[in-house]
Amino acid sequence: MATDPEIQRRRREGIARHHAKPGVKLEYRERMRKVMEKVKADPALMEKRREHGRWLHANVLTRPDVVEKTLAPETREKRAATLSATRMRDIPGAYRDEYRRLVASKKATAAEAKAIILEQFKRDIAA
């Protein structure tokens, strides 16, 4: 049953519906924050996590097939888009290039550029 495409599709839809409920993500973040506080307080658990990270690096992340996928142009583009969407979540997508131009070439601070872009966005919406 676990490999049936229809069951997999319904399972994914159910998970998506659950995560779309208000407060689910915040509840999950809070639960994970508490777990990590406990882990950080226990040196043995921290060392276990470090050891697992070393194992991952030695046995998975340095494999040629994984390195090739990691360095592939489409993977890098997807990562860049995800980082932009996360770091500039307050800036509307169509205005992100203009925001970057303001910060890079016009030497505006991030706060100034954000204010300019959001004001421009409000004007465009009103028009």
Chain segment 53-101, per-residue pLDDT in tens: 999 999 999 999 999 999 999 999 999 999 999 999 999 989 999 999 9
Cα distances from 44 to residues 11, 41, 50, 114, 125, in angstroms, run 36, 9, 10, 44, 55
- Reported residue count of the chain is 127
Residues 39, 49: Cα–Cα separation, whole Å: 9
Residues 115-126 pLDDT 10s: 999 999 999 999
End-to-end CA distance of the chain: 54
d(CA 96, CA 90): 10
Confidence of residue 2 (pLDDT cuts 50, 70, 90): confident
